Each structure stands twice: as C-alpha cells, then as structure tokens.
Structure 1
Amino acid sequence: MTLLTRSQTKAMDRKAGESLLSYEERLAAFIQEANDRAAPAAKERQQLEQEEEAKRQKEEQDRLRQEEADLQAAAEHRSRQRERLFTRETVIGDEAARWVEVASTDEAPETEKGLSALAQVSHDLVATCALQQEEILHLQQTVNDRHLCLYHRSGGACQAWLDNILTSHGVAVSELHTKLTWQELTDAWHKRFQVEPPDLQAMDKLNKLHQNTLLSQEWITEFQRLTSTPNLPLAFRAIKHLFIMRSCPALQNALTQIAETLDTSDKLFSTASRIILTNIEARNAGRSSATTSDTQLKPKVACIISSEAATPNEGEVLAAARDGGRPRNNHGRDKTKTQSTSTPSTGSAADQPWVQYGLSANSYRTRLKYRYCLWCNSTIHDAAHCPTKGKPRQGK
C-alpha cells in the first residue's frame, strides 16, 4: 500500500467558504479519479497472480501425472517380468517333462539323464524366483499397510495426533504412506510423545539395577539384555565394572579376583552364574546333610578358580541357579530338571529323611523351605551345626 504525502492530499482539504455539499462532491470525484488510476495496476497485478497460480497448478498436475505414470510403468514392468517368468517356467517344465520321459528308459545315455537333472534344477530355480517375487510384492503391500494398522490400533491422544497429521497432509489414512515413510512417522511419534531412544532407556535402567532388586539369575539375565542394546554408550570395560560393583558382596569379591580373565560378555555372565550355582549348592549341601558330625567344619562357599568349571552348558547353569541348586519337581510348564549334587542312600532313611528328626513330612519340608534347623527349629544355625542335637531317632 502506497502512502500519500501532504502535498498529494492537500487538494482534498475543504476550501474556505466551500459548502459541505460541494466539498463532498469534489471529494467523491477525487476518490473516483484515484480509483480509476489504480484500477489498471490492480487488474494487471491480479492477472499476474492468476497466471502464477495457473502455472503452479499446472506444474503440480504434471508432477502428479509423472508420478502416476512412473508407478504405472513400474507395475507394468513387474507384470511383464512375472509373465516372462511364468512363460519360461511353463516352457522349462514341458521340456523337463520330455527329458525325464526320455531319460527314464533303460537305453537312455548318461547325457540324456544329465540333461534331465539339469532341467529339473532349472525348473525349481525359476519356480523359486517366481515365488520370491510374489513374496516381495506381498511384503511391499504389508509395509504400506503399517500406517493404517497403527491408526486403527491407536486411541485417545495418539489417534487425535494422527488425525492432525492426516489433516495437515490432506490425505486419508490409507494414503499416509505416500506422504510419510515409516521411519519419519516413528521419529515424529517419539518427538511428540517424548519417547527416549532404546540406548538411553537401557542406560537409565542400568543405573538403577542392583542384584538385590531381582532374583540372582533374573538379575543376570536382565543385566545381559540391557547391555546388549545396540548403540549403548558403554564399552565392555565399563559394563564389567558396573556389573561387579552392582553385585552382592560375595559375588563382587569372587569376580574381582578373576576380573582380568573376564574379557568377554559371555565369560562375565556365565562365570557369575556358575559362582552363584556353586555357592547355593555348597550351602544346601551343608543344610541338608543329616550325618555330619559335630566336629566337622561347615562347608565353605566355593568360588570359581578357573574357567574349566564342570558345567554342562549355560542353560543348565542358569536353570540350576534359579532353582537354588536343588532338583525341581517339574510342576510348571517348560521347566528344566537339574540333577542333585548328592545321591541318597537306599533304605527307609533315604525315602523318609524326616523320620530321624522326629518330624512329619510337612514340618520337614517347611523347615527346609525357610532354612530352619531340623533339630531345634532355630534360625541361627543349620542342622549340621546344631549344638543341642541328639542322636537321630529311629524310624518306626
């Protein structure tokens, strides 16, 4: 908009002695004259804008037609490829059938038999290529449907956010994949709902994970899962240090003594599992022994001295450590049995170990479960070190 100077608007002032009616008529004539002078410029400017808009629309239509033509050409190319594959498959199949028929006779030479085998291989190869192309086309359709599935499975704020995206791009949900790739939509989703990257989530959980927060074996499994997160900003040396420092004092002491030999993640976690298993087995052996003398020392907790510990495999070690070193009853689904470290002797004492303590079967199992002394029901010591225990009672 052009600003008028005082010299240009001076003619619009009311003159001395001029009546109001004549002033209004003169002012209206002045405005009409100004409008008449501005009309051609406005008309020319409007015409230029219309031409630019028409040019832009034409370019957009040309671009859309080109994209549609490219898609159509790609579809026709894939269709021609499929037709060629199917045609070749039919020809090769007919030729292979003829060669197989010729080679099936007893008088057929070795050359014919070789050609028959080669034809069969070629037939299988073409069929495999055709099947793979069908799977690729189906996979592309599945990838394009991910946006639609995400929309229908969302709700509340998530679906409202997706509605805003559809409105801003002016497309239906079935065509959203033409405007946003799956990775772009994922990045926008994480930014909108403030989703932390997996590596930062793993770091945050590692900073809060201690051994006493979970069972020993579950803790090792969870720690191993978190440290295997891609792009985790931690080297193995830092992971090993963090794992040892977050362990209980006994496990920390054992791992510190052999820390230099633990140069891989597998060695670190498998060694920790074996140490836990060995400690539990030693403790249970001391608690469940019914024939230990008063002067016999309490079994010490064992540590892994070398990497040649006798373990069948890592899966059995983890299962045994989770079960407390005792054989499982296999009441649950998909549970692996572990072998007991001691074999009971034959006889009634082995079948009914609670008899020599004068206990019922339920009381015996309860004291074993909560690690009470089988003689005096004390929590300070176990049965092998009970100071007041008498001679074992004979079974009835």
Structure 2
Amino acid sequence: MPERVYLDWNATTPLRPEARAAMAAAWDIAGNPSSVHAEGRQARRVVEDARAAIAAAVGGRPQDVVFTSGGTEANALALTPGVRHGSGQPARRLLVSAIEHTSVLSGGRFSPEAIGTIDVTGSGLVDLDHLRRLLAAGPPALVSVMLANNETGAIQPISEVADVVHEAGGLLHIDAIQALGKIPFEIKSLNADLITLSAHKIGGPKGVGALVLGEDVQLEALLRGGGQELGRRAGTENVAGIAAFGAATSAAMAALAPNARRLQSLQERLEKGLMQTASMIVFSADVPRLPNTTLFTVPGLKAETAVIGFDLGGIAVSSGSACSSGKVQPSHVLSAMGIARDLAQGAVRLSLGWSTSEADIDLALQAWRKLADALLRGRRNTA
C-alpha cells in the first residue's frame, strides 16, 4: 500500500517523539500526585514541570494553569457566569463570535438567554463595531473570541478586541488551541483574561487540555469533589497525558520560528499549485492567517466528493472542523462570513504540520489535478 500523506493537522496531530517518551516515563510512576510520600511527590513533580512549560509558552504563571480533559472542557470551565478579575464586577452574560468552535458557541454554563453572538466580516474577522454595540447594550460581559480560526486560519485582532472589551468593563476569553505552536503570543501582550489550550493540536495526546488564567482572575470550578488544581478542577490528574502535553509544548515552542517560516513557504507552494489548476477561492486570503492552513473552494465542487477523492488518492484532508461526528456539512464559519451556500458546500481544508514536506505538497497537488480535471469534464458534459 502506498504511503499516505496527512494534511489534516488542524483536526489533530501525530504524537511527537518527545511526548511519547514523556508519557512512557510517566506510566512507570506509581504515585498519585496528591500523595505526600516519595512516589506521590515524583508524580507531582512531573505535573508541575509540565505546568511550568505550558505557562512559559504563553507568558503566564504556573499557578494559573488549570489542567483539563481537553479543549472542550477548558472552554466550558472558562465560560462561567460570575467570572471576574479581582474585586471587579462579575460577568453576567456571554458574547461569542459567530465563528467560534462549537464548544464555545454552546455557551458553557451561561443560560441561552444570556448569550449574544458577535458578527464577523466577509474576511472572517470580528466586527469590532458590532462588539461595541453589544457591550454597550447590557451588563458586564465575558467575551470569547478565538485567536486563530480552525477552518480558515484567520488570525483575529485580539489586542484591539481586548481594548474594546476592557473599556466596557468586560473580560476576554481566548480560544488559542489552533494558534499554540504556530504563531507566537502571550497572555499579557494579548491582554487576555483566560486562554484555552489543547495537547493534541501540537503533538501531544488526545484528552488533555488547559485553561490559563490571567493574574487574579477568579471563577467557579466546573468539576467539584476534590482540591486538585488549586480547587479549580477536581479529579486525579492525568499524569502521563500532562507530562506528554508539557513535552509537546516545549518541543513546539523550541521550533516555532523556523517551522512557521517553513510552513509559510509550503502554504505558498500549495496555493500557487491549486490556483494553476482551476478557478478557485481561498477563504480569508486577504487577512493574516496561520501559516499552515488553506481553506478553498471551486464553484461546483462538493466537499464530500473532494474529501473522498483526496482520500482515495492517499491524501487525508477535511471539509473544515473535525467535531461534527464525521459528517461533511456546510461550515457555520463560512455561513457567518456571508459565503453563499453553494460555495460553502465545496470548502476543503488542507492543514500542514512539522513533518509536512515539499513532496507531500506535490502529491496533494497531483491528487487535486485529477479531481479538478474530473470536475471540468463534468461541467463540459452538462454544458
């Protein structure tokens, strides 16, 4: 069987060797990290080393990193009515951008009537004027805006969003799951109050995530019953997964700059090759994007047909988010951007990673040329 090419890194990533080694070593530790004996202290040391690595990656403090079972739980923990900064006013409502991940759009623990949706532009960026109007129309709000979109790769102007939110007395939550390890950022420079991260997007294992709090941000625990994570998330820590998360984060941050440059070059190679074959649209191409993400469509293309065609050609791609039970369906992100349904139905995402090579891109372009030729033949036959 010919070797396959994996170009769905935004859905999940292969396990980094560093993460695999850290996980294997942690499996041999018998202690519970809450125990005071030597074995427990050994497990605690592993957890705290990983906590320090993740805090360093986003310019936070180790004591403000809360480990969770993944990005969805971290988002649910962040989206808590009453979350506040110090003695400031607690958030009584939630405002989310229309292009957020479904775990944010669901609103966490806010009631449906307390949730508002922020419009985005045709390029996929938050409409700051609409955000201002929403903030002015009610009590203090928690605002949730992702740093980089998982489908289009569009990078939001978070510093500007933060200024608008804080001027109105609100708090800002950033879902940075797709951005970690791809672009540099820090919680303080973004002026964010809460940041969500996930291990399996950067070469760690599935089922581990983190919520990083800004200094003096207070919220109510989602899972209760124990004093773990400074009382902010009950349950015995996943020592092996956390160890691997820390190792993956350190490896990703150490190679961030050169990998971003390399991915940018591969992205340009990919998009140039795609455009030579058929008249196509690359979404959010006119705004800053992640260097690894290309979401495109061709009039008349059906995403399901394209994804299957790529797969038969040995190339793993997706039609957008991988959190829809395997279904190929029109993207809520593109709908929010005002993209016509017939174009949105044909959107295909190729996302690259640290082991993607020029040869992988060339193989993907070969597969695309076959698909495009079939599409053009079909058009001629129906003309």
TM-score class, shorter: under 0.3
- State the TM-score, normalizing by the size of structure 2: 0.20
More helix by proportion, 1 or 2?
Answer: 1
More strand by proportion, 1 or 2?
Answer: 2
Higher gyration radius (CA): 1
- State the TM-score, normalizing by the size of structure 1: 0.19
